[in-house]
A and B are shown apart, each in its own frame.
Chain A
Amino acid sequence: MKSRTDSELAARVARDIPDGAYVNLGIGKPTHVSAHVPDGREVIYHSENGILGVGPTPAPGQEDCELIDASKRFVTAAPGASYFEQADSFAMMRGGHIDIAVLGAYQVAQNGDLANWATLDDSYPPAVGGAMDLAAGVPTIFVMMRHVSRDGSPKLLERCTYPLTGLGVVSRVYTDLAVLDVTPEGFRLIELTPGNSLDQVQALTGAPILT
């Protein structure tokens, strides 16, 4: 199987983010998307801890310990940036003002259900952060994840088995093996990572892939 690296996957997601979009990047792999947006596009990144217009990582020695993003990484403010408090930040998210959110996931179902905040292991403290607010309020949710879990089990399913973050909210899924749209009929193939066959990818997917 041919598998996209995290960097190649971030670049693939970045291609689908249009000029002028307001975008929230979730914790983990999605944070890498901003480094791959094609030249000539201005994308404005929102971070839920209170900044619109997240700029690049500061040079070593230039970090401002109070200026961080939702992943708690040091960031800078891009031209045109603003700072605000939590209630305003979540008005942007829940109120439908952010155009696109790119999130990681444990599971995605063929009806667009998203599970990315809790597992079935109750001894492990759940942590939701802003994920449910993004799922509820952002009109376009891109999921970026490995196609299968570490133990090899499918993460694209007919129904999620993990606790849900949002119902029917996912628009498109980008994995190391394929890109799929969530449609009223189920997962529809947009593209395979070059070198993979549909049969190979279908065998690692827990729901039918339409073409």
Chain B
Amino acid sequence: MDKTVPDLARAVAPITDGASVMIGGFGASGIPFGLIDALLDHGATGLTVISNNAGAGDTGIGRLLKENRVAKVICSYPRSPGSVWFERRYEAGQIALEVVPQGTLAERMRAAGAGLGGFFTPTGYGTRLAEGKETRVIDGRGYVLEAPLSADFALLRAEAGDPWGNLRYRVTARNFNPVMATAARHAIAEVRHLSTQPLDPETVGTPGIFVQSLTEYGVRP
């Protein structure tokens, strides 16, 4: 089996206008900057971007926002230092925002990837973020029903990968990448080292079954 593609451009070629795209990373760690730049060159627009943050500065998701490729952002924390392009688009009413608590964001992806129809969480119970959602009291405690969250594509960053699509992560660059791999119908990884030999199975963070294609991008931000 060989899931490798020769370059970033071919990796993002399947992404269509209006697609929903999960993008790994937290802060600047674990963000697939190479794939995002390739997506900009590719030209897809009207995207729904699902990520923890809404970009910083003129790079990564910030650049997608700057060039007006994003119709909607689903994230937990859009207000990081330097999120100027998100704030500009938001204040101008050019972008839709869905704020999701970070753990609920991860668990909604996990549910989608694991084939679950949703879950009851205590997070957000009684707050504005639970308005309109089904609630239930279980053993005396209030819970909110949250729906699974899948996406058409996921753009991932990993330290190493092999032709079978197995990925290995490094330090806190792991973050959302593994759970997004499970929740997307087509997960694309950029890896710092593409190994022609299989990764040590003990070190695999994302099993290759969750990854549809990968390509090498050696730059570390």
Report chain B residues within 8 Å CB of A39: none
Q: Is B127's CB under 8 angstroms from A132's CB?
A: yes
Report chain B residues within 8 Å CB of A84: 174
Given A125-B90, A132-B101, A137 contacting B122 (CB threshold 8 A): yes
Q: Is A94's CB under 8 angstroms from B122's CB?
A: yes
Give the A-B contact count at a CB cut-off of 8 A: 146
Report chain B residues within 8 Å CB of A68: 26-29, 172
Q: Is B127's CB under 8 angstroms from A166's CB?
A: yes
Q: Is B221's CB under 8 angstroms from A136's CB?
A: no
Interface centre among B76, B102, B128 (most CB of A within 10 A): B102
Contact of A65 among B28, B106, B122, B123 (CB under 8 A): B28
Q: Is B123's CB under 8 angstroms from A85's CB?
A: no
Alpha-carbon distance between A90 and B103 when the two chains are bound, in angstroms: 5
Q: Is B30's CB under 8 angstroms from A85's CB?
A: no
CB under 8 Å from chain B, chain A span 25-70: 47-51, 64-70
Report chain B residues within 8 Å CB of A210: none
Looking at the assembled complex, report how far the CB atom of A142 sits from the nearest CB atom of chain B, in whole angstroms: 19
- B136 interface residue (CB < 8 Å to A): no
Looking at the assembled complex, report how far the CB atom of A155 sits from the nearest CB atom of chain B, in whole angstroms: 18
Interface centre among B52, B173, B205, B220 (most CB of A within 10 A): B173
Q: Is B172's CB under 8 angstroms from A67's CB?
A: yes
Secondary structure at the A interface, as helix, strand, loop or mixed, is loop
Report chain B residues within 8 Å CB of A90: 102-103, 106-107
Name A81's closest neighbour in chain B (CB-CB): B171
Alpha-carbon distance between A5 and B178 when the two chains are bound, in angstroms: 41
Q: Is B220's CB under 8 angstroms from A94's CB?
A: no
Q: Is B172's CB under 8 angstroms from A87's CB?
A: no
Interface centre among A48, A49, A77 (most CB of B within 10 A): A49
Report chain A residues within 8 Å CB of B105: 86
Measured as residues with beta carbon below 8 angstroms from the partner, the interface class of chain A is: 35 or more
Report chain B residues within 8 Å CB of A102: none
Interface size on B, residues (CB 8 A): 51
Alpha-carbon distance between A89 and B178 when the two chains are bound, in angstroms: 12
Name A124's closest neighbour in chain B (CB-CB): B79
Given A68-B27, A128-B99, A130-B101, A49 contacting B122 (CB threshold 8 A): no
Report chain B residues within 8 Å CB of A6: none
- B175 interface residue (CB < 8 Å to A): yes
Report chain A residues within 8 Å CB of B101: 128-133
Q: Is A136's CB under 8 angstroms from B79's CB?
A: no
Interface centre among B30, B123, B125, B221 (most CB of A within 10 A): B123
CB under 8 Å from chain A, chain B span 90-148: 90-91, 97, 99-107, 109-110, 121-129
Report chain A residues within 8 Å CB of B90: 125
- A123 interface residue (CB < 8 Å to B): yes
* For the complex of A and B, 3 pairs with smallest distance between CB atoms: A90-B103, A133-B103, A86-B106
* A interface residues (Cβ-Cβ under 8 A, vs B): 47-51, 64-70, 72, 77, 83-87, 89-90, 93-94, 118, 123, 125-133, 135-137, 163-167
Q: Please give 8 more A-B residue pairs, beta carbons under 8 A apart, in addition to A50-B172, A65-B221, A127-B99.
A: A50-B26, A72-B28, A83-B171, A86-B175, A130-B76, A163-B128, A164-B127, A164-B128
